[in-house]
Amino acid sequence: MVEEGSRNNIILGGGLAGLSAAYHSGIPLYEALAKPGGTAASLDEQGFVFDLGIHVLQSKNVYFLELLDKLGVRLITHSRSGWIYSNNSYFPYPFQVNTSHLSFISRIRCIVGFLFSKGENGTSANYAEWILKNFGKGFADTFLTPYAKKFWGVSPETMTFDWTGNRVPRPNFFEVLKGAFKDQETKLGTHVVFQYPENRKQGFGAIAHAIAKNVHTIHYGMRATAIDPVSRTVFFNEGGEKASYKKLISTLPLPDLLSLLPDVPDNISQAIKSLKCNSIAVINIGVNTPSLSSKHWVHFPEPHISFFRISFPANFTDGLARPGTSTVQAEVSYLGKKPDPANLFNAVKEDLIRVGILSKDMEIVFEDIIFLPYGYVIYDHVREESVKRIHDYLRGIQIYPCGRYGTWEYLWSDQAVLSGKETVEQLSLDESSNNSSFD
Ligand SMILES: Cc1cc2nc3c(=O)[nH]c(=O)nc-3n(C[C@H](O)[C@H](O)[C@H](O)COP(=O)(O)OP(=O)(O)OC[C@H]3O[C@@H](n4cnc5c(N)ncnc54)[C@H](O)[C@@H]3O)c2cc1C
């Protein structure tokens, strides 16, 4: 099979970025797995549908939303029921405007620290300083710093803050003061209103399926295992099959892509080694109880709880759990070695009981653990320079990276789709302005 001898542009990876690149260009796509979606796929087993970590949409991009509409992806809109658990109680997200559960002393520390914080003007040396300048020491110590350490797996001192955007919202003083006396559900921060595909059986994966249905050529089960940049050939499945290319659009994580190339210069190998990303273990549980919670998700900043976040997938759309059952999904972040699945499952289950979500007498009817080796790209002080160096090298050998792990950025799903579209548009611009580059 495969386009041996003929030279086409080709795409590697059938997540949202690769699918979008293929949809917007007609270029053939090669995906390692047997189905589309990558990180935005969903699993459907024994009547339980789970996404790979919580996935919801908050896109305001008109093009993206119109594309979903055109492809027949109907969306349900929800008002956020997002929560935080600390000091043995649940209170609405975000923490900054909900501190009434804290001791009087802690509340005063948060309020006074915030009062004297001047806000940030883009000059902080790192994320820890950014937190202090925006929120003060009280908020830093009680929530933002411990949550950052738990979520990213690294100290905020080692991180930059260019990824924050509206992800870490700064309220006004009145909101902070009010929240110190009364819990309040506010419109502050991300996902105040969010959307989720209505399709009852495909979960968030409905988006990838809808794009894939409209892509001309997808070769599934084609894992790229080597690339020869001189003959411009991709070898799949340990050399069993190959495809030659003029230009290669890759949505593979940069470290994986570079590991397929021979003779990578030392300075590029060094740059690759410097890239950091956390990994996420996703623990999926189904119980024989009709409704575990009416919440959408909960953040857990405290280090003695194993997960940083749980969510209740069956609350996003109907049909994601068997009748009479419900589900909870826990996410645990780690760096390096994969945790032992049995130990992790036990720890998560015990913690779910401790925080009052599961009880000992509940019957667990489904359990599963998925390990995502690439979770959230860590924005440290060398990331930007390293990514630039790697991208320059790749473009020099006609490889065009895109998507969340090709750009090595904190991209949401809609941004991954736009990344694929923009890459093929840029490529066709380059090709029409310089035809000789195909040779
Ligand atoms: C835990 C978590 C939660 C998230 N939550 C949200 C959310 O709530 N909302 C939101 O909008 N976004 C969310 N995202 C982000 C979203 O999942 C991504 O932006 C998007 O899925 C990235 O798509 P991609 O195509 O760039 O990458 P990927 O989905 O990683 O696609 C890469 C593809 O390449 C394939 N591949 C890998 N190696 C090879 C190989 N050697 N040969 C061939 N194919 C290969 C993979 O199988 C995969 O299909 C979340 C991400 C994570 C990790």
Measured from the Cα of 407, ligand 1's closest atom is 26
CATH of the domain at 133: 1.10.3110
Ligand 1 centre to CA of 322 (Å) is: 27
71 within some domain: no
Q: Looking at the structure, do residues 398 and 424 belong to the same domain, yes or no?
A: yes
Runs of H (alpha helix) within 41-103: 62-70
Q: Looking at the structure, do residues 295 and 362 belong to the same domain, yes or no?
A: yes
Residue 233 has pLDDT above 90, yes or no: yes
The count of domains in the chain is 3
68 within some domain: no
Q: Which two tokens stand for residue 107?
A: 């509340």
Q: How many CB atoms lie within 10 A of CB 348?
A: 24
362 within some domain: yes
For residue 237, the enclosing domain spans 8-41+204-274+381-438
Q: Which two tokens stand for residue 342?
A: 């049995």
Looking at mean pLDDT, say which of 11-25, 155-169, 417-431 comes out highest. 11-25
Are 271 and 311 in contact by the 8 Å Cβ rule? The answer is no
75 within some domain: no
- State which of 349, 372, 395 marks the end of a domain: 372
Q: Which residues are CB-neighbours of 243 under 8 A, at least 6 positions away?
A: 2, 3, 4, 8, 10, 28, 30, 233, 234, 236
CATH of the domain at 215: 3.50.50.60
The pTM score is: 0.95
| Mean pLDDT across 95-120 | 92
Q: Looking at the structure, do residues 283 and 256 belong to the same domain, yes or no?
A: no
C-beta of 31 in contact with ligand 1 (< 6 A)? yes
CB burial of residue 298 (10 Å; 0-12, 13-18, 19+)? buried
Q: Looking at the structure, do residues 152 and 87 belong to the same domain, yes or no?
A: yes
116 within some domain: yes
Q: Tell me if residue 427 falls in helix, strand or coil.
A: helix
| Mean pLDDT across 387-410 | 98
C-beta of 321 in contact with ligand 1 (< 6 A)? no
C-beta of 156 in contact with ligand 1 (< 6 A)? no
Residue of 43, 55, 283 to mutate, ligand 1, most atoms within 8 A of C-beta: 55
Please indicate whether residue 436 or residue 104 has the higher confidence score (pLDDT): 104
Measured from the Cα of 51, ligand 1's closest atom is 3
CATH of the domain at 309: 3.90.660.50
Q: Looking at the structure, do residues 32 and 163 belong to the same domain, yes or no?
A: no
Q: Looking at the structure, do residues 300 and 262 belong to the same domain, yes or no?
A: no
Assign 200 a pLDDT band (cuts: 50, 70, 90). Answer: confident
Q: Looking at the structure, do residues 322 and 360 belong to the same domain, yes or no?
A: yes
Ligand 1 centre to CA of 16 (Å) is: 7
23 within some domain: yes
- What single-letter DSSP state applies at residue 56? -
Please indicate whether residue 238 or residue 184 has the higher confidence score (pLDDT): 238
pLDDT tens digits for range 240-280: 899 999 999 999 999 999 999 999 999 999 999 999 999 99
CA pair distance 284, 412, nearest whole angstrom: 22
298 within some domain: yes
Query: Which residue lies with its CA nearest to atom 8 of ligand 1?
Result: 55
CB burial of residue 423 (10 Å; 0-12, 13-18, 19+)? buried
